[in-house]
Amino acid sequence: MVSEVFQNIGKIIERDSKSTTYKYALLRGVINIIQENSPYISFSSGKVNIPTGLLIEKWMLFYYPILESSTFIPQIHGQSKLAFEPQFTKIISAYNNMGGFSAFYNDLKNKGIPNNLRKDFIVLANRLKTTVTTMPMKYIGRSISDDYYSIFNYENSRARRSDSTVVDLEFLINNYGSFSIPKDYYEAFKVLGSFISGQDSILFKWAEFSVNASGRCLSIENVINEVLKNPITDRDIIESKKIYKTILKKEGKVYCVWTGRSIITYDIDHMIPFSIWKNNDLWNLLPSHSTTNNQKRDKIPSPNLIEKRKDIILHYWKLISKNVPDRFQKEIQIALLGNKPFQSWQETAITQLQSKCNYLISNRGFDEWNIK
């Protein structure tokens, strides 16, 4: 059961809708509340109940610096604004001359929102509640279930009524109802939530160590940018594709690997997308019709599709092997064959490719792709 929950979380992160950052904000917020072991968390009938006001507070803390930043940091595809952006921008503008982000949080946590901003703050809080409960809470889990609210369930009733006229965090907790998640997900977030959200990830801890070792002369951002550098450059990708196209020119006719149709113009497609696996091996590059390649994008070919297209995949692999034998053998040996002998590479490589794609789909939660 625990294994299934972790697999589901992986699928949610990778496969659920990515049109906005709402999904990430919801997961990060819930994880933070659980990791803080909030005393407001309660348990009933296999469910864990959390005040929605605590989540509204987290969203305020997440999005304030993003919306305040002088650098535009996209949070939604297209030209649209976040659902609560106009209301939040009004609050941020008001706090520009009052101490900014820190002053806002101090008011929210301790002093209470000033009288002249209470109405605007409540409008923002209402908008945040509507956004979080009707969007990410509703749709998270759609990659693993056809049901809405399959993991998060919002209760509109108030946690308890408060006669306080102070508008602060306690006001949010008391007036915005609660939501629940299954206890299995709570336990998963409790144990590994900090790794999922990034605070305890190896990458973050590595960067944190380097910052401290430098006497804090470096920033976390500086170190992460360097640690994440990849040795495969745009030039390397162009070179590999150029080699491939040179081979195909000698062959004359070119066929789309996914449709089998003869094509004159084509893309060289990373069979396992480069965004998922930084692999620029020639065996992972295949000619594809541009329209088909656009349909595939960052999806993973299904094992069944690979079986159907096995003959043409092997056709291209043999062409590469014939033209650049040393590079092909080294690359496919390391990536797909392992300790298996190269002499019988064809069936082994196809089987390993299917296994690798199945792992990325089933365990890592990436989108499966089948030609329409």
Average pLDDT score over residue span 246-274 = 88
Last residue in a domain, options 173, 197, 221: 197
Q: Which residue has the higher pLDDT, 344 or 231?
A: 344
Residue 184 sits in the same domain as residue 329? no
**Is-contact 247 320, C-beta < 8 A?**
yes
Range of the domain at 292: 234-369
pLDDT single digits (tens) 312-336: 999 999 999 999 999 999 999 999 9
Is the confidence at residue 349, as pLDDT, over 90?
Answer: yes
**Is-contact 153 27, C-beta < 8 A?**
no
Residue 306 sits in the same domain as residue 351? yes
Is the confidence at residue 2, as pLDDT, over 70?
Answer: no
Q: Which helix (H) or strand (E) holds 286?
A: strand 285-288
Residue 169 sits in the same domain as residue 204? no
pLDDT single digits (tens) 153-185: 998 755 444 445 899 999 999 999 999 999 999
Residue 44 sits in the same domain as residue 152? yes
Average pLDDT score over residue span 342-360 = 93
Residue 79's pLDDT band, with cuts at 50, 70 and 90, is: low
Share of the chain above pLDDT 90, in %: 57
- Distance (Å, rounded) from C-alpha 179 to C-alpha 50? 6
Output the CA–CA distances (angstroms, integers) from residue 305 to 152, 300, 313, 350, in the order listed: 34, 10, 11, 11
Last residue in a domain, options 207, 229, 251: 229
Residue 152 sits in the same domain as residue 205? no
The pair phi, psi for residue 165, each rounded to 5°, is: -90, -5
Split into its structural domains, the chain has a count of: 3
Residue 101 sits in the same domain as residue 22? yes
Residue 77 sits in the same domain as residue 103? yes
Residue 173 sits in the same domain as residue 258? no
Residue 221 sits in the same domain as residue 302? no
- Distance (Å, rounded) from C-alpha 278 to C-alpha 280? 7
Confidence (pLDDT) at 195: 82
**Is-contact 306 273, C-beta < 8 A?**
no
Q: Indicate the pTM of the whole model.
A: 0.76
Confidence (pLDDT) at 132: 97
Confidence (pLDDT) at 201: 83
Confidence (pLDDT) at 159: 44
- Show the tokens assigned to 251: 């062959």
Q: Which residue has the higher pLDDT, 84 or 243?
A: 84
Residue 210 sits in the same domain as residue 192? no
pLDDT single digits (tens) 284-303: 999 999 999 999 988 999 99
Residue 253 sits in the same domain as residue 301? yes
Q: Which residue has the higher pLDDT, 103 or 5?
A: 103
pLDDT single digits (tens) 189-238: 988 888 888 877 888 888 888 888 889 898 888 888 888 777 777 767 78
Smallest CA-to-CA distance from 124 within 76, 170, 90 is with 90
Output the CA–CA distances (angstroms, integers) from residue 165 to 57, 128, 161, in the order listed: 18, 21, 12
Exposure string over 174-190, b if 16+ CB within 10 A, otherwise e: bbbbbbbbbebbbbbbb
Q: 358: Cβ–Cβ under 8 A, 6 or more apart, which residues? A: 303
Confidence (pLDDT) at 164: 57
Residue 352 sits in the same domain as residue 260? yes
- Distance (Å, rounded) from C-alpha 249 to C-alpha 244? 9
Confidence (pLDDT) at 18: 72
State the chain's mean pLDDT as an integer.
89
- Distance (Å, rounded) from C-alpha 325 to C-alpha 36? 56
The pair phi, psi for residue 83, each rounded to 5°, is: -60, -30
First to last CA, the chain: 34
